[in-house]
Structure formats: C-alpha cells, structure tokens
Amino acid sequence: MQSVSAEATLFNPDPASYLPHRYPFLLLDRILSLECGVQATALKNVTGQGCFPQVLLVECVAQLAGIMTISEEGEGGFLAAIDGAEFFGTPQAGDVLTISATVVKSFGRLFMVKGEIVCGERALLTVQLTLGVGRL
C-alpha cells in the first residue's frame, strides 16, 4: 500500500467548492495552499472600477479562515469576533491580493485565526478573527 504525505494531499483550488457563498458574495478567486486546521493562502483579483472597500478585506480573511477550519461537508460556521484589525491601504481595480490565514489557537469548536493581506510587497491588512465552527 502506498503512503501519501501531507505535502502530496490534493485539494480543490476553487473556493466555491467549500463555501455556500456565490457571486457577488464569494470574494476569493483561488486557493493556493490549504492545510486544514493549520494555514491557508488564497488570491483575490480586484475587478471593477475604483477601490475595493477595506471592510471586505476582513471578509476575505474570514472566508479563507472558514475554508481552513471547516472539516466536514455540511458544517457551518460564523464569525464570532474581529480583534485588532489594522488597515494599511486600500486596494484598487487591477490589484492582485494574497490572503493568508493561520490558526493561532483552537479550543473546542472555536478557532483564533491570524490573517494578513498583501498586494505585492505592500501590506494592506492584519487582523485576528475568532470563528465558531459546527452544524448550525
């Protein structure tokens, strides 16, 4: 029997395969890396005209954190807290954002997640979220 390492585990890069959200509420475009319950990275291409509202940056991190922490199909989740959100800029149309989320601590079905969004070398957001996960 062949052994499969964690590095070789396949995942679907389409965020729509993990979340019930659909356009225009599904904000992530592609998942780059996913280690369930540990860390994840995704991309967001900012389209349209003008700027992308900063509050939606927090939602991008929350969506990625939800994908990373939900382990069973049909499980739901909710955003329980937003702590220390720091905004360093506003993305413009044409920007490609890299979103990262890392579990800092978990207790039961609650997860504290540190999130960051960068555009190239420029940081746009750092935030800590608390998510509740389970069948709702």
Question: Tens of pLDDT along 98-118?
Answer: 999 999 999 999 999 999 999
On the question of pLDDT at 135 being above 90, the answer is: no
Predicted confidence band of residue 77 (pLDDT cuts 50, 70, 90): confident
* For residues 75-88, average pLDDT: 92
- Contact of 85 with 127, CB cutoff 8 Å: yes
Q: Could you tell me which CATH number the domain at 13-134 has?
A: 3.10.129.10
The Cβ of residue 98 has, within 10 Å, a number of other Cβ atoms equal to: 15
84-96: burial string, b at 16+ Cβ within 10 Å, e else:
ebeeebebeeebe
On the question of pLDDT at 8 being above 70, the answer is: no
8 forms beta bridges with none
Q: Phi and psi dihedrals of 7, rounded to 5?
A: -65, -25
- Contact of 66 with 130, CB cutoff 8 Å: no
| 54 or 4, which is more confident | 54
Residue 6 has a pLDDT of 46
Q: pLDDT per residue over 25-74, tens digit each?
A: 999 999 999 999 999 999 999 998 888 999 999 999 999 999 999 866 66
Residue 1 has a pLDDT of 41
On the question of pLDDT at 5 being above 50, the answer is: no
Residue 16 has a pLDDT of 86
Residue 48 has a pLDDT of 85
